[in-house]
């Protein structure tokens, strides 16, 4: 093998990495880590302590990130599928989380707002919430798939009505659940020092991975998203596939609802999962996925979700006030999104190639 | 300018990157005539009209209008309108939620003041004078498409237009509506308006037009008086085959059709929502047949109905003698039917997906949701067909959109061959690809047929059809009008049947 071909191999290796989609969230993660490492290395500190129940728990910023980023990561799974298949986003997920959270509480509390014991097993409450959330997902999906309404407009309906529906489910009361086992899902399992939401997110990711591996969902969703007419002529039913992605997103919403209400053992209809839809969409975009549908990379989306949480936690760490948080976040988001735009990436990888070749030729000359 | 001309176009050139759309085209329109502009797709009709109406700038040539000394400059549709050139397109470009009167006068008022009474009475006068059945205050959307088109024409007439261009105005009208439109066109002819009429329907040309200009491949074929150009001649001019030169190519295909066997596919009274007349069709093992006809004659719609690509409204279908229901593409695929669609970009490729995913797509769908191919198997399939069809691609992972047209077509062909169909439908598989690949595809069709596959082949190029098909079904105006086999398979016979009516 001549030296020249070796050179070309290296070069294509670098540019192929640069072209790979998952590079965007990884680069963002590295940048944020680097920033924290320089600004204050104690950011990465993890300590083992005990919580009020006497369980051993790990605490630290990294733990906060994997804990609080879980809901976003789970939502990003469904949002990625919906985006890929329908070329639009579901902006009602926050409101839908409020609904499914409210359903869980309603089933667990029955008619009593301060029950001493749970009125139903938690699994039953969760399954009911799943059904309800999937039904709302189907509603959104039907508007998009059957009636061909723009996804954002179609989901605007539930976005507007969702929190009222959530409040109505519990007669606008704020029931509190005192049962300790209910806190496990949003807190810690006895004896395990890592927060449960992380395990739930991990499980969701593994299930999604298996589904994408052992079914043709990925190929179907991408085909429908890229060229609906071709998909139809190849025997697919685009309407059904779009509908299915919205129902799957509904399932993700129900899981998030469980985590959210478990965290505080009650519900605040107007605050729960507020603005989470925008973060979920952002996670998909940060993952380098086109928001107009088509090809997707699930791992990149999920990583994107953790990048957002990493950013939020970093900003809190530097005492940015919570009302100013969004403004700072916006600045970082602009940078990340511009950098991940295909045209910018193309130019960047061309630049890297140029630097690389000039770097190789200079010593020779 | 010649006497009586309202419009003259001299030596018009227009090219787009890689395409010479118009080369040295002349066009004369006389006062008070209806002039048909004819040509197959890509002949340059719409480019010529767009140059005339200022949508495109021309590369060279001059346009003269009556009443203007010297050539006129038309840089925008607004310029064209001011010069008295109006266009009515196939799709209505009016405001459906405004009233008829408003639509006639919109954008033409001077100053801010609007006299509604004056406007409505003017509109009423105009509508009665043109015999258009609409009230000025009626909302436009509540009128039929034909009336909407007439309102658009009325608007043009009232703007003092001397050149009226009607671009496929009849394609969405039924017979009685077409008759009304023609009455209006004749009235305008009496008033001295020059009308350019673009249509694919031959019958309509002979019903209403005075002269015909034929374009082919961006070049002027000629201008003819309607009486001097029989239909067969017109078709041969459009297709570019002079009847005299046409050496009748004998069909030397070994007829491998087993006449007595059960048809692989058989349909009776098949009809879809796309407006074709119900038709009967059958194909036997190892047979290659084809649908022919002019563009818009319904040949694509017919095969789409066979594949269930459009909604099938009626008809009995038998596959290998057993009655079956084919309502959607997956039904057809399960019965071993494959369909390569006419529009490669719109209905064929999944652009961003890799060559590999594009090749396995149909078989994967057929295989089912829970049985995905392993990556290794998918690559094996893709490599096999890349080699078989000699597809030029950097790798199996290259996005299919980055391949050349011919190679994209081969990828789609590979996709369908991979499903091992008994019956393969190819709708314009050779359009827009280089000559070498065209020949390869034709050879492949014959080879597949020899191996026992049934193929339906559609092509705009009659030569290709004659080389490959042993039976041709001829369509005209969305109706199956004839079937040609054996000795009848000659250029002149095909053209006669396409043109219909008279014999050459």
DSSP string across B286-318: T-EEEEE-STTSSHHHHHHHHHT-SPEEEEEEE
Shortest Cα distance, chain B CAs vs residue A194, angstroms: 35
- Residue A306's pLDDT is 94
- Residue B112's pLDDT is 65
Residue with tokens 């082919």: B216
**Any chain A CB within 8 A of the CB of B499?**
no
Partner-chain contact A229 B365, CB within 8 Å: no
What span, in angstroms and rounded, lies between the C-alpha atoms of A27 and B351?
28
Shortest Cα distance, chain B CAs vs residue A49, angstroms: 46
- Residue A67's pLDDT is 93
**Any chain A CB within 8 A of the CB of B309?**
yes
Partner-chain contact A214 B357, CB within 8 Å: no
- Residue B502's pLDDT is 47
Answer whether residue A21 is part of any domain: no
Shortest Cα distance, chain B CAs vs residue A150, angstroms: 21
A219, A227, A233 member nearest B364 (Cβ): A219
Answer whether residue A109 is part of any domain: yes
Helix axes A196-214, A61-68, angle to 10 degrees: 50
Residues A339 and A269 in one domain: no
Answer whether residue A41 is part of any domain: no
B333, B357, B371 member nearest A235 (Cβ): B333
Answer whether residue A138 is part of any domain: yes
Shortest Cα distance, chain A CAs vs residue B363, angstroms: 9
Residues A211 and A351 in one domain: no
Residues A301 and A364 in one domain: no
Cβ-based contacts of A231 with chain B (< 8 Å):
350
Q: Which residue of A has its CA nearest to B331?
A: A235
Residues A234 and A341 in one domain: no
Q: Which residue of A has its CA nearest to B329?
A: A235
Residue with tokens 């719609």: B301
Confidence tier at A141 by pLDDT (50, 70, 90): very high
Answer whether residue A14 is part of any domain: no
Answer whether residue A9 is part of any domain: no
Partner-chain contact A229 B347, CB within 8 Å: yes
pLDDT tens digits for range A236-261: 999 999 999 999 999 999 999 999 99
Partner-chain contact B366 A235, CB within 8 Å: yes
Confidence tier at B434 by pLDDT (50, 70, 90): low
What is the residue extent of each domain of chain B?
5-229, 263-336+424-504, 348-420
CB B458 within 8 A of CB B430: no
Shortest Cα distance, chain A CAs vs residue B322, angstroms: 21
Confidence tier at A19 by pLDDT (50, 70, 90): low
**CATH topology match: B5-229 vs B263-336+424-504:** yes
Residue with tokens 């692989």: B264
Domain boundaries B263-336+424-504, corresponding CATH code: 3.40.50.300
- Residue A239's pLDDT is 95
- Residue B142's pLDDT is 85
Partner-chain contact B361 A213, CB within 8 Å: no
- Please state the rounded mean pLDDT for residues A217-223: 95
Total CB pairs under 8 A between chain A and B: 74
Q: Which residue of B has its CA nearest to A225?
A: B350
What's the mean pLDDT when you consider all of chain A?
87
Shortest Cα distance, chain A CAs vs residue B144, angstroms: 25
Residues A130 and A162 in one domain: yes
Helix/strand/coil for A344: helix
Residues A131 and A228 in one domain: yes
- Residue B244's pLDDT is 45
- Residue A198's pLDDT is 95
Domain count, chain A: 2
Residues A218 and A337 in one domain: no
Partner-chain contact B352 A226, CB within 8 Å: yes
- DSSP assignment string, B452-473: T-EEEEE-S-HHHHHHH-SEEE
Residues A226 and A290 in one domain: yes
Shortest Cα distance, chain A CAs vs residue B475, angstroms: 23
Residues A199 and A345 in one domain: no
- Please state the rounded mean pLDDT for residues A263-291: 90
**B248: pLDDT strictly greater than 60:** no
Confidence tier at B256 by pLDDT (50, 70, 90): very low
Residues A105 and A232 in one domain: yes
CATH number of A178's domain: 1.10.3470
Strand B312-319 versus strand B288-292 pairing type: unpaired
**Any chain A CB within 8 A of the CB of B346?**
yes
- Nearest CA to A136 among A245, A244, A247, A240? A247
Confidence tier at B497 by pLDDT (50, 70, 90): confident
Domain boundaries B5-229, corresponding CATH code: 3.40.50.300
pLDDT tens digits for range B437-492: 777 888 888 889 988 899 999 987 777 888 888 889 998 888 888 888 888 888 88
Q: What is the helix, strand, coil percentage profile of chain B, to 5? A: 35, 25, 40
Q: What is the pTM of this model?
A: 0.73
What percent of chain B lies above the pLDDT cut of 70? Answer: 91
What span, in angstroms and rounded, lies between the C-alpha atoms of A224 and A58?
44
pLDDT tens digits for range A327-351: 888 887 788 778 767 677 778 777 8
| Mutation to test the B interface, candidates A225, A235, A288, most B Cβ within 10 Å | A235
Largest Cα–Cα distance in chain A?
Answer: 84
Residues A198 and A346 in one domain: no
| Mutation to test the A interface, candidates B348, B350, B355, most A Cβ within 10 Å | B350
Cβ-based contacts of A236 with chain B (< 8 Å):
330, 365
| Angle at alpha carbon of residue B382, lines to B379 and B383, rounded to 5° | 85
Shortest Cα distance, chain B CAs vs residue A207, angstroms: 15
Cβ-based contacts of A214 with chain B (< 8 Å):
370, 372
Partner-chain contact A226 B351, CB within 8 Å: yes
Residues A162 and A295 in one domain: yes
**B262: pLDDT strictly greater than 80:** yes
Strand B211-216 versus strand B34-38 pairing type: parallel
Domain assignment of residue A357, given as a range: 322-365
Partner-chain contact A231 B350, CB within 8 Å: yes
């Amino acid at each position: 093998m001549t030296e020249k071909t070796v050179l070309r191999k290296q070069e294509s290796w670098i540019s192929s990495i640069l072209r790979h989609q998952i590079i965007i969230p990884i680069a963002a993660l590295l940048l944020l880590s680097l920033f924290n490492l320089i600004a204050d290395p104690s950011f990465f500190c993890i300590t083992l302590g005990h919580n009020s129940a006497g369980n051993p728990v790990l605490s630290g910023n990294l733990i906060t990130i994997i804990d609080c980023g879980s809901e976003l990561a789970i939502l990003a799974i469904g949002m990625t599928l919906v985006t890929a298949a329908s070329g639009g986003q579901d902006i009602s997920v926050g409101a839908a989380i409020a609904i499914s959270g409210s359903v869980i509480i309603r089933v667990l509390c029955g008619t009593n707002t301060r029950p001493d014991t749970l009125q139903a097993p938690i699994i039953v409450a969760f399954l009911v919430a799943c059904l309800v959330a999937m039904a709302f997902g189907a509603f959104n999906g039907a508007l998009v798939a059957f009636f061909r309404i723009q996804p954002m407009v179609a989901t605007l309906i539930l976005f507007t009505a969702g929190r009222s529906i959530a409040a109505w489910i519990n007669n606008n009361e704020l029931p509190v659940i005192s049962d300790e086992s209910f806190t496990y899902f949003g807190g810690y399992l006895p004896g395990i020092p890592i927060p449960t939401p992380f395990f739930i997110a991990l499980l969701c990711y593994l299930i999604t991975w298996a589904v994408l591996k052992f079914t043709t969902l990925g190929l179907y969703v991408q085909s429908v998203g890229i060229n609906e007419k071709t998909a139809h002529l190849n025997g697919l039913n685009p309407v059904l596939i779009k509908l299915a992605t919205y129902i799957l997103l509904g399932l993700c919403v129900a899981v998030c609802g469980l985590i959210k209400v478990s965290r505080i053992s009650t519900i605040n209809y107007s605050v729960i999962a507020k603005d989470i839809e925008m973060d979920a969409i952002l996670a998909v975009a940060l993952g380098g996925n086109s928001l107009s549908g088509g090809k997707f990379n699930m791992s990149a989306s999920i990583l994107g979700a953790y990048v957002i949480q990493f950013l939020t936690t970093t900003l809190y760490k530097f005492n940015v006030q919570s009302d100013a948080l969004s403004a700072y976040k916006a600045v970082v988001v602009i940078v990340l999104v511009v950098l991940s735009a295909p045209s910018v990436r193309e130019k960047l990888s061309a630049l890297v190639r140029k630097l690389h070749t000039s770097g190789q030729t200079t010593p020779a000359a | 300018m010649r006497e009586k001309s309202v419009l003259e176009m001299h030596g018009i050139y227009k090219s787009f990157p890689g395409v010479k759309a118009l080369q040295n085209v002349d066009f004369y329109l006389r006062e008070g005539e209806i002039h048909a502009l004819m040509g197959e797709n890509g002949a340059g009709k719409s480019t010529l009209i767009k140059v005339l109406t200022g949508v495109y700038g021309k590369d060279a040539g001059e346009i003269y209008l009556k009443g203007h000394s010297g050539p006129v400059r038309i840089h925008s549709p607004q310029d064209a309108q001011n010069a008295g050139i109006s266009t009515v397109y196939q799709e209505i470009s009016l405001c459906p939620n405004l009233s008829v009167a408003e639509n006639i006068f919109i954008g033409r008022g001077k100053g801010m003041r609007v006299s509604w009474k004056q406007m409505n009475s003017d509109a009423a006068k105009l509508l009665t004078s043109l015999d258009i059945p609409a009230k000025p205050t009626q909302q436009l959307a509540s009128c039929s498409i034909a009336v909407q088109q007439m309102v658009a024409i009325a608007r043009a007439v009232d703007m003092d237009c001397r050149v009226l261009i009607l671009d496929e105005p009849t394609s969405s009208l039924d017979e009685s509506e077409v008759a009304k439109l023609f009455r209006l066109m004749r009235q305008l002819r009496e008033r001295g308006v020059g009308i350019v009429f673009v249509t694919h329907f031959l019958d309509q040309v002979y019903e209403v037009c005075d002269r015909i200009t034929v374009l082919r491949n961006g070049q002027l074929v000629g201008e003819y008086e309607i009486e001097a150009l029989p239909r067969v001649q017109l078709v041969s001019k459009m297709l570019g085959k002079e009847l005299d030169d046409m050496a009748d190519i004998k069909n030397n295909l070994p007829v491998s059709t087993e006449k007595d066997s059960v048809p692989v596919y058989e349909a009776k009274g098949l009809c879809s929502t796309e407006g074709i007349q119900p038709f009967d069709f059958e194909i036997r093992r190892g047979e290659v047949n084809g649908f022919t006809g002019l563009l818009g004659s319904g040949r694509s719609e017919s095969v789409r109905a066979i594949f269930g690509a459009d909604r099938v409204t009626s008809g009995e279908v038998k596959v290998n003698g057993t009655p079956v229901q084919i309502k959607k593409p997956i039904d057809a695929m399960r019965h071993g039917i494959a369909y390569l669609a006419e529009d490669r970009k719109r209905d064929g490729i999944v652009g961003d997906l890799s060559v590999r995913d594009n090749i396995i797509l149909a078989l994967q769908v057929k295989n089912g949701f829970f049985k995905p191919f392993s990556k290794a198997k998918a690559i094996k399939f893709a490599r096999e067909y890349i080699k078989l069809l000699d597809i030029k691609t950097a790798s199996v992972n290259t996005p299919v959109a980055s391949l050349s047209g011919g190679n994209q077509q081969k990828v789609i062909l590979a996709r369908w061959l991979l499903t091992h169909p008994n019956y393969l439908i190819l709708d314009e598989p050779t359009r827009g690809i280089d000559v070498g690949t065209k020949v390869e595809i034709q050879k492949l069709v014959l080879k597949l047929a020899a191996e026992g596959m049934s193929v339906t082949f559609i092509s705009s190029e009659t030569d290709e059809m004659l080389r490959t098909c042993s039976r041709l079904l001829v369509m005209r105006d969305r109706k199956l009008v004839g079937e040609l086999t054996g000795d009848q398979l000659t250029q002149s016979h095909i053209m006669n049947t396409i043109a219909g009516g008279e014999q050459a």
